[in-house]
Amino acid sequence: MLLDELKAANLQALKAKDIEARAILSVAINKCNMLGIEKKSQGTELLDSDVLVVLQKVDKELDEEIAAFKKVGNIARVEALQYQKKTLQQYLPKLLTEAEIASIISGLPDQTLPGIMNYFKQNYPGKCDMKTVSILARRRQ
């Protein structure tokens, strides 16, 4: 399971005294654990697809932090955050490109916006940017 890989990587970062890698891996693991508790209370269990969604959210949060620190000129912090992002991206799958998403959309029988969005949520969790899917779906209408 992906969460186990993250925990093993966190332990390796601890042994290697890699503070930045530990920081981002710990954040991701804690968010996954919180989601796992929430899922367990609902009677379901945490899946790799759920972990991927958490990792993508953390990745986007890092992008926002990098932009904010660039704006104020804190280059040292930007470099540390970029290293964290690089560490995190090792566990993220390659996202579908716009061309691949458009190709999938054109082959769907239900071309409505809700139909397209539901299809991608069910069949490609964590493997595509839903904002891109939404933009491409709206262009078709």
- The model's pLDDT over 90-128, given as tens digits with 9 standing for 90+, comes to 998 888 899 999 999 989 998 899 999 999 988 887 788
Tokens of 113: 């916006």
| Distance in angstroms between the alpha carbons of the first and the last residue of the chain | 39
- Domain 2-89, CATH class in plain words: mainly alpha
Rounded to whole angstroms, how far apart are CA atoms 46 and 33?
9
Q: Name the band, by pLDDT with cuts 50, 70 and 90, for residue 139.
A: confident
Rounded to whole angstroms, how far apart are CA atoms 52 and 30?
14
Query: Each residue of 15-30: pLDDT tens digit?
Result: 999 999 999 999 999 9
Helical H runs in the chain?
2-15, 19-41, 48-72, 75-89, 98-106, 113-123, 130-140
Domain boundaries, the chain: 2-89, 98-140
Rounded to whole angstroms, how far apart are CA atoms 12 and 94?
24
Backbone dihedral angles phi then psi of residue 125, each to the nearest 5 degrees: -65, 125
Q: What is the mean pLDDT of the chain?
A: 92
0.85 exceeded by pTM? no
